[in-house]
């Protein structure tokens, strides 16, 4: 079979799977599919035994192909979606800090959320956005949304859709323009933040759908950051939390917490420890912890089992790789 035929075949298979997944999402085919606890344990034991078998083969000097690693990672991510196993999620101090800051806000307070990410980072940041907005709207805290990334406001709309479906939020009957508003994207990176510090209106003259700033009751009296009670930045890179801290927090004294991707979160500990950030949600784990502390069951909690499994599998392969390294001698390289 030629490479071109293989490519076409793979593209066809991906297309068929995509159509099935799309139809499954529309008609909710996968929502109720669940392994029993016994079956879940059996699946875990099988994966563990398979890893053990690979370790034994490695000790015998038979190395595995990288495609085997791909298959294991794939199973580790997908299978837990169907498992009925609960994990005890412990709240870390940085997540508790975000929650504590939120708890001090009175009904009617205004929270600014900046959506500085795009779909690739959504699996980590979207659960944070959904639970954060849900918490705000269910506690009568007004939400002002902006985006320094072009796709940010669209991600905000998706998060709003989920939040507005929550029963506690529905009970409050939040109104667009009064309880929440999406001011859309503005180009200019940290210059946008800087201008917002002196004149909020100059950067967002209309909202996401073209409504004039002065016609929106929630924001018409907001002149600069001094009218914002708390800010939350969801960031996946530049511009993001670092720029918000350097401009809005340091210069204008904005009180701010952040939600970052797991890759970016370690950089933010410097700001967190210095008191420039009031709390940090790091990666999907941060999202799951925030959901737990807020009493919301969302995607973060649901996906944590997958993340746990994926981490264990990666660690297992690192150990196996090191076993191969020490057995094969330091000079011998793995042919994978």
Partner 1 sequence: MRREVPLMITGIVGIAFVLQYFIPHWPFSQLNTWFSDWFSIISAFAIWLGALNLMKISFQKITRKKSDWGYSVVIVLSFIVIAVIGFYEGESFREPGTNFSWLYEFVYTPLSATMFAILAFFVASASYRAFRARNLEATLLLVAAFFVMIGRVPIGDNITSFLPENYQLSQVASWIMTFPQTAGQRAIMIGIALGLVSTSLRIILGIERSHLGGGD
Residues 136-195 that bind partner 1 (CB under 8 A): 150-151, 153-154, 157-158, 161, 186-189, 191-192, 194-195
What part of residues 58-97 is at the interface with partner 1 (CB under 8 A)?
A: 66, 69-70, 72-74, 77, 87-90, 92-93
Task: List the 230-235 sheet strands across, edge first.
Answer: 180-185, 142-147, 110-116, 230-235, 256-260, 280-282
- The residue count for binding partner 1 (CB under 8 A) is 73
Contact between 199 and partner 1 by CB under 8 A: the answer reads: yes
Smallest gap, in angstroms, from Cβ of residue 303 to partner 1? 11
Spatial separation of the C-alpha atoms in residues 77 and 70, rounded to whole Å: 11
Exactly one of 209, 275, 329, 331 binds partner 1 (CB under 8 A); that residue is 209
Phi, psi angles (nearest 5°) of residue 180: -150, 150
Spatial separation of the C-alpha atoms in residues 236 and 243, rounded to whole Å: 12
Pair 83, 35: CB distance under 8 Å: yes
Exactly one of 170, 220, 311, 332 binds partner 1 (CB under 8 A); that residue is 311
Spatial separation of the C-alpha atoms in residues 132 and 287, rounded to whole Å: 9
Angle between helices 283-294 and 122-138 (to 10 degrees): 20
What part of residues 2-61 is at the interface with partner 1 (CB under 8 A)?
A: 18, 22
What part of residues 105-124 is at the interface with partner 1 (CB under 8 A)?
A: 118-123
Smallest gap, in angstroms, from Cβ of residue 142 to partner 1? 21
Contact range with partner 1 by CB under 8 A, out of 96-104, 170-178, 227-235, 314-322 = 314-322
Smallest gap, in angstroms, from Cβ of residue 217 to partner 1? 20
In sequence order, the β-bridge partners of residue 182 are 145
> Which residue number, 227 or 322, has a Cβ lying nearer to partner 1?
322
What residues contact residue 3 under an 8 Å CB cut-off, 6+ apart?
none
């Amino acid at each position: 079979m030629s490479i071109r035929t293989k490519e076409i075949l793979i593209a066809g298979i991906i297309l068929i799977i995509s159509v099935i997944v799309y139809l499954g999402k529309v008609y909710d085919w996968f929502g109720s599919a669940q392994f029993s606890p016994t079956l879940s344990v059996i699946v875990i034991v099988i994966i563990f035994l398979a890893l053990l078998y690979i370790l034994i083969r490695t000790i015998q000097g038979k190395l595995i192909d990288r495609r085997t690693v791909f298959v294991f990672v794939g199973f580790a991510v997908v299978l837990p979606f169907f498992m009925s196993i609960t994990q005890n999620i412990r709240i870390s101090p940085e997540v508790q800090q975000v929650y504590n800051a939120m708890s001090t806000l009175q009904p009617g307070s205004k929270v600014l959320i900046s959506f500085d990410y795009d779909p690739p980072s959504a699996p980590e940041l979207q659960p944070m956005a959904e639970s954060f907005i849900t918490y705000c709207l269910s506690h009568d805290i007004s939400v002002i949304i902006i985006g320094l990334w072009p796709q940010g406001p669209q991600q905000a709309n998706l998060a709003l859709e989920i939040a507005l479906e929550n029963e506690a939020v529905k009970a409050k009957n939040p109104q667009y323009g009064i309880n929440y508003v999406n001011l859309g994207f503005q180009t200019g990176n940290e210059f946008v933040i800087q201008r917002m510090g002196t004149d909020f209106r100059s950067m967002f003259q209309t909202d996401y759908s073209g409504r004039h700033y002065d016609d929106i009751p929630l924001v018409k009296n907001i002149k600069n950051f001094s009218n914002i009670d708390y800010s939350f930045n969801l960031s996946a890179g530049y511009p993001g939390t670092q720029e918000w801290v350097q401009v809005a927090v340091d210069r204008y004294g904005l009180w701010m917490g952040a939600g970052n991707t797991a890759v970016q979160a370690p950089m933010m500990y410097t700001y967190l420890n210095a008191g420039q950030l009031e709390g940090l949600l790091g990666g999907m784990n941060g999202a799951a912890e925030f959901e737990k502390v807020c009493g919301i069951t969302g995607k973060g909690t649901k996906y944590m089992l997958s993340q746990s499994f994926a981490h264990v599998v990666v660690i297992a392969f690192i150990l196996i790789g090191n076993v191969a390294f020490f057995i094969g001698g330091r000079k011998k390289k793995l042919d994978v």
